[in-house]
A and B are shown apart, each in its own frame.
Chain A
Amino acid sequence: MTRVALVLSLALAAGEWRVAVPEYPWSFPQDHWAHDGYRTEWWYLTGHLQAESDRTRRFGYQFTLFRIGVLNEPVELDSDWASTSVIMGHAAVTDLASGEHVFAETFYRETPLLASFSDYPESRIGWSRGPAGTEGLWSLDWNGNGFDVAAVDTRQGMSFRLETNADKPLVFQGPGGFSRKGTDSSAASQYYSFTRLATTGEVELDGERFSVRGESWMDKEFSSSHLGENQVGWDWFSLQLDDGRDVMLYLMRTADGSVDYASGTLIDGQGVAEYLTMGDFVVDVLETWTSPSTDARYPSRWRVRLPSAGLDFELRGLAADQENRSRLPGRVYYWEGAVEVSGGVTGRGFVELAGYGDGNRPPV
């Protein structure tokens, strides 16, 4: 109860925070690193992997580092614990054959002892200690053409170490990398993606180790107000179609379940983006799944229509239970899972469903 109160209050931590702006002066690769002064920032890698030794062993994975701003400017204190942010790491591996979904997490204040973000041009963007009881670090590095990530949770017998390389150029989500989340312009983020990252590395699940190969999607967002006042969550889709195109869709939901704002990006084979607005696409929920752990009822099958691009396809979760349930402060839960595209076009992707379940509004 106490910890929830504390973390919820992070959202209340007021002050002069920087806000997302349409004319943000991007500078790469420096903008891959952390941005102080924003309340929330995340690096989100999701992808599909296949064991090199056994092509039937396929995995979905997620690696996320969140930077949650607590103070918008540093305080002069003679202590290594002096800190302005909290670093939260979420990592998950789903065995797509068995449906087993393992979620691991870290949550530390930013301090040289536990977790921190580095400054450009160091190759390390951020790191954190593993979960309690685990030797080893979680890390995110820029390798010049992509991101290297590592996560480990000894207790759950899960770890991965992956290297990614961009096959397609960086793409802004929203004009100029300014992604609105509602009609109120204050709910917006600075947002860009790498939609195709060739991925190699190793995955360990239940003590079994696999050399893997696959493809990832990387999202980077930072903002100080992600949700509009009436919004309680979002449905986010990142889809890699077999025809070379990629689709990102963002649907912002209100408490009654209706979508009050939506946007998206259609990226062609060369990485050229076309920005979509709410009227450009329709997402219908065909089936739902109720989490036995949280009682949250999530969509699990969708029909997606994007008439201007001639797209009409179905999405289906590759495993029902890909819900991430945090046990650490805040106790957030959301569904983040691998999906497959079928129908008019084939492909695969990841879907994130946040804010489902009673009173489960993401603290962003």
Chain B
Amino acid sequence: MIRYFFRALRAQLRGGVLLFALSLFGVSIGVASVVSIQIINLNALGAFRGSMLAVSGSADLILLGKMPTLPETLYPEVLATPGVAAAWPLYRVDVTLRDADPIVLEVIGVDFFTAIDVPWEGEAVDVSAALGQSGWVAVTATLARERGWSVGERLSVSIGTRTAELVVGALSDFEKATPLASPRLAVMDIAQAQSLLGSRGQVDQIDVKLVDGVDEAAVVAALDRKLGTKAMILTPEQREEQAADLLSAFRLNLTALSLISLFVGGFLVFSSTQAALVRRRTEFGLLRSLGATHRQVFGLLVGDVALLGLAGVAVGMPLGYLGARANIDRVSATLSNLYLLEEIHQLVVPPWFFVLGAAVGLAGAGLGALAPALELGRKDTRSLLAAFSLHARVGEKAPRWFAAGVLCVLAIVGVYAVAGDRWRPAGFVQAFLLICAIPLLTPWLVQLATSRLPVRSFGLAYGVKGLGRQLQTTPVAVAALAIAVSMVVGVTTMVSSFRDTLDIWIERTIQADIYVSTPSRRRAASHATIGADVIERLKRHPAVTHVDRLRQFFAYTNGRRFSLAGVDASVPVDRARFALLEGEVEELPRDSVLVGEPLARKEGLHVGDDLVVDGPDGPVSFPIAGIYYDYSSELGSAFLHLDTMTERFGGGTVASVALYLAPDSDADDVVDELRVAFQATPLSMRSNRGLRERAMQVFDQTFAITRLLRYMSLLIAVCGVALTLIVLARERTSELALYRALGASRLQIFRIYLGKGLGIGAAGIALGSVAGVAFALILIYVVNRAFFGWTIAMHWPLGLLVWQSAIVLLASSVASVYPAIIASRTPATELRREDL
């Protein structure tokens, strides 16, 4: 039987290369989608984890400053805590290289005389140089190679408006110990780091190694008593979880989108297995009549599917890897811009990943083939040799399936009624129900739609009407296409609504004429500050009438990290500064706080509640005067008056300033003038318009990968249309031969098949559009609120949707051309006695 299997396989391939190629394409793209997204997801935290392990790998506990730094005087107290075997302080600051390619160096100031282990490359490091040579820094050998640096290279860097000259004093090899460590890690002596790049008296982190066998909880409790609200005590695993939490929504959404691709790919496999069954039914009937058992015939089909699955994996895995590589930059930019995490510098694919890929491919192919294979198993020899009666059965079951589909829809509504946006997985449950509902609703709807269709000629309409009779195959194509279309419509609507909402919000929020910050601002956060002298110089520009200062740092409320900003709001503005969702305030109140929607949603805060923030000497409480729309970051944010911030959290430096210009000034011209005037100072200046454009750029970059996934699914679905029509052409050979025998021209048959293609396309679009609306509602009102915490105003991008539908219809027609040609070439001699 095995020999027979391989001979039959060869024969099949000769007979239907295109069919096989289309099936393979479906499985491969499905596997590639899942694999590429999972590789990206796996590696999204890789650099963060690698860098954490490289620096704090031997630590049992990581103490992180909440303010956001820690007074260094706490370090000796930590060190003296019973149960502590070693501790080392870290001063972290991300500096920007002042170069044509301004990369960020993640500088870590360390005390070389502690237990911290730096893997040096090459000879022993001269510690006296590390301490004594101004700007001494050890960079990774990888980065040095990349940039062509060697020991002695001088690097000009900026942090805020400060600049410093560093000199490469040694090379480190963090990647040897932890392969995922960021090549941009740079190590320097803590004294130099504080003095040249930061400020004295503070550290960012203290790593603690515990005595073997000591009660960790007891030490944590003792440390907690000493540190109070000043620090967060985490194990490295908790630290990683914290970062993973940060990315969970982002990663989950990508995974969900990639699974839809696989799902649609599974439909393709279903169609192709169906096709194999159609093609080989006589062969299987013959085998059975010659004495082959049910199991042997079933085994032949399973073998086919397994081979298809494996071939799909073989093609899909490398494709997935290439897909991940091609998207590194986009995802990296998102990680770095929105989540302030390390960028992905390299992709690592662990061996178990290949097993996962194989499992996904085989399971996808297996599930797709399950129904047809079972159908085959149930058939007796006679019915295999006779024409199919499947369509009739599907036709009978269609109303029952429809009812099940309606139940799914009701369940979606039920889940919303019960859970709303409060239960995070609700959105995914609803999306899953929706995806289940589409194929269940399709057969009956297709039947209904086609039964009412008047047919006046033997052409396009006749082809469309035929879809309702070929229910074993066509609904699969319609459903696959509908799912893909629903995803495209849903995600397009969500992204478009989000974009419009953001645009309006930016318009409302960004009121100053020019915004000034520093190139290192995004990553270096509170370390990147604008010097008071620079602000004074900015104020002196003749066109500048007012200057608003903004100080920002990451604070904690109830263990949640959020951005706390202090603004002096000295400028009278003609509109309210904040677009409020709750509360009524015109100006920033002095003693209360305004809380952004994501933070309010995640913490369940409302106007009248108190926002309790960990302060330098314990919790600090602020009444909430308003909740504002906030799309700046899903981390959450809150605003208070700069003076209040200074009062409650101590003094600090300004991270950015907003300039208001005299009415007759042109912001872009002033930006140009200021750039010339501040040529030597690392400042980044954007006019109101420039900042809006940049915000939109970041937005588009963030959603670029979803666009790719959407179109991947659509591509698979359109292939499904072609596949279905080929199956139909082959399955209905006798019928076509009969038409030909009765005098139908080739053109008429071509038209019928074109009609079928258009019919599938139109039905897929119609059903997909309705489902897409539901999908958009789920994304906007459930998923986004639950995961990101922001309200998006619904906006239907009708033009875009119509254009996309036209493309899908066109693609379906194009996809039906080849099957139509095959069908039209069917000779009347194919007519068999049993078909009559």
Contact = CB atoms under 8 A, between A and B. Distances in A.
A289 to B, nearest CB: 29
Interface in B170-185: none
Given A132-B79, A329-B113, A79 B200 contact: yes
Contacts of B543: none
Q: Report which residue of A13, A15, A77, A329 has the largest number of chain B beta carbons within 10 angstroms of its beta carbon.
A: A77
Contact of B195 (A6, A14, A78): A78
Interface in B118-166: 118-120, 124-128, 131-132, 134
Interface stretch (A94-102, A106-114, A163-171, A262-270): A106-114
Interface stretch (A40-48, A80-88, A193-201, A297-305): A80-88
Contacts of B81: 133
Contacts of A135: 80, 82
Given A2-B118, A108-B113, A132 B87 contact: yes
Interface string B490-511: 0000000000000000000000
Nearest to B203: A81
B80 A130 contact: yes
B75 A113 contact: yes
B126 A82 contact: no
A309 interface: no
Interface string A1-32: 01101111110111100000000000000000
A71 B125 CA distance: 14
Contacts of B124: 5-6, 8-9, 12
B76 A129 contact: yes
For the complex of A and B, list the 10 residue pairs with the smallest distance between their C-beta atoms, beginning with the closest: A13-B128, A81-B191, A5-B124, A77-B195, A79-B194, A79-B191, A82-B191, A78-B195, A71-B132, A109-B113
B112 A79 contact: no
Contacts of B113: 6, 86, 107-109, 329
Contacts of A71: 128, 131-132
A155 B190 CA distance: 28
A9 B125 contact: yes
B80 A134 contact: yes
A79 B195 contact: yes
A113 B72 contact: yes
The SS class assigned to the A binding surface is loop
Contacts of A151: none
Given A114-B76, A133-B82, A79 B126 contact: no
A40 to B, nearest CB: 14
Contacts of B134: 75
Interface in B75-115: 75-76, 79-87, 111-113, 115
28 contacts: A2-B117, A3-B115, A5-B125, A7-B127, A70-B127, A75-B191, A77-B192, A78-B195, A78-B199, A79-B191, A79-B194, A81-B111, A81-B191, A82-B195, A84-B131, A108-B113, A113-B72, A113-B73, A113-B76, A129-B79, A129-B80, A130-B80, A132-B87, A133-B83, A133-B85, A134-B82, A155-B211, A329-B113
B625 to A, nearest CB: 40
Interface in A114-145: 114, 129-130, 132-136
A84 B191 CA distance: 11
A70 B128 contact: yes
A77 B191 contact: yes
Contacts of A13: 126-128
Contacts of A7: 127
A15 B131 CA distance: 13
B125 to A, nearest CB: 6
Contacts of B111: 81, 109
A346 interface: no
Contacts of B189: 81
A94 to B, nearest CB: 24
B126 A81 contact: no
A154 interface: yes
Interface string B60-80: 000000000000110110011
Contacts of B118: 2
A79 B192 CA distance: 8
Interface string A326-346: 000100000000000000000
B444 to A, nearest CB: 71
B16 interface: no
B583 interface: no
B116 to A, nearest CB: 9
Given A5-B120, A107-B113, 16 more contacts: A5-B125, A8-B124, A9-B124, A9-B127, A70-B127, A70-B128, A71-B132, A77-B196, A79-B191, A80-B200, A81-B191, A113-B75, A114-B76, A129-B76, A133-B82, A135-B82
A123 B296 CA distance: 97
Contacts of A155: 82, 211
A283 to B, nearest CB: 35
B228 interface: no
Interface residues of A, number: 39
Given A71-B131, A134-B80, A6 B191 contact: no
Contacts of A15: 128
Nearest to B193: A79
Contacts of B190: 79, 81
B210 to A, nearest CB: 9
Nearest to B128: A13
A228 B551 CA distance: 59
Interface in A291-317: none
B201 interface: yes
A80 B80 contact: no
B191 to A, nearest CB: 4
A78 B72 contact: no
A247 B201 CA distance: 49
A39 to B, nearest CB: 10
Contacts of A14: 128
Contact of B117 (A3, A12, A86): A3
Nearest to A114: B76
A132 B115 CA distance: 11
A70 B194 contact: no
A75 B131 contact: yes
Nearest to A328: B115
Contacts of A78: 194-195, 199-200
A363 to B, nearest CB: 12
A154 B127 CA distance: 31
Nearest to A75: B132
Contacts of A79: 190-192, 194-195, 200
A83 B131 contact: yes
A15 to B, nearest CB: 7
B126 A12 contact: yes
Contacts of B132: 70-71, 75
Nearest to B88: A132
A155 B219 CA distance: 14
Nearest to A74: B132
Q: Report which residue of A6, A12, A13, A129 has the largest number of chain B beta carbons within 10 angstroms of its beta carbon.
A: A6
Contact of A2 (B84, B119, B126): B119
Contact of A133 (B72, B125, B211): B211
B662 to A, nearest CB: 39
Contacts of A130: 80
A207 B115 CA distance: 28
Given A13-B128, A81-B189, A6 B83 contact: no
Nearest to A12: B126
Contacts of B82: 133-135, 154-155
Contacts of B112: 6, 109
Contacts of A83: 131, 191
Interface string B443-468: 00000000000000000000000000
Nearest to A69: B128
Contacts of A107: 113
A108 B89 CA distance: 13
A9 B126 contact: yes
A81 to B, nearest CB: 4
B576 to A, nearest CB: 43
A133 B120 contact: no
Contacts of B128: 9-10, 13-15, 70-71
